[in-house]
Amino acid sequence: MRLFFRLFLLLVVIGLVIQVVPYGRDHENPKTVQEIKWNTPATRTLASNGCMDCHSNLTTWPWYTSIAPVSWLTSRDAEEGRAKLNFSEWQRAQEVDLQEVIDVIREKEMPPLQYRVIHSEARLTDTERQQLEAGLVASWKADPPGK
């Protein structure tokens, strides 16, 4: 029992100490420069529910994203997601192409499991995934990035 208490106390101390690491607490979203022209409001809603926290400058930062190590993970995910595909900076070329986006949606790699566990609205049904795919294809082709 003493060992358990010591391990618990050690974890609490580590948890408190890591709070001083400043990374992951800057929750200032960059300005939206040029959002993709969505083919329908429904497509935008589906993208908003499952994609845009990491793939736009419209990230919602819940309270728990200010607590390390969750703050580190969410900041990294948003930074990496925005670098690959950013629906808020559509004026620039995107790192991924349309087929790559469709593939990760079809294979249920996006949104990632850890995001879906916390965000019920991101748990898209198969029908919603198909609607999102069709909407993204229509939107992307009508308004390609980087123009």
Tens digits of pLDDT across the chain (147 residues): 888 888 888 888 777 777 777 776 778 899 999 999 999 999 999 999 999 999 999 999 999 888 888 888 899 999 999 999 999 999 999 999 999 999 999 999 999 998 999 999 999 999 999 999 999 999 999 999 997
Note whether residue 13 is domain-resident.
yes
Residue 89: strand, helix, or coil: strand
C-alpha span between 49 and 46 (Å, rounded): 5
- Summarize pLDDT for 49-73 with one digit per residue, the tens: 999 999 999 999 999 888 888 888 8
Which of the 8 DSSP states describes residue 41?
Answer: H
C-alpha span between 87 and 32 (Å, rounded): 9
C-alpha span between 101 and 139 (Å, rounded): 13
71: left (phi over 0), alpha (psi -120 to 50) or beta: alpha
How many domains would you assign to the chain?
1
Residue 133: strand, helix, or coil: helix
Mean pLDDT, the chain, integer: 91
C-alpha span between 112 and 116 (Å, rounded): 6
Evaluate whether 18 touches 48 at the Cβ level (below 8 Å): no
Which residue segment(s) compose the domain that 67 sits in? Answer: 2-142
Note whether residue 147 is domain-resident.
no
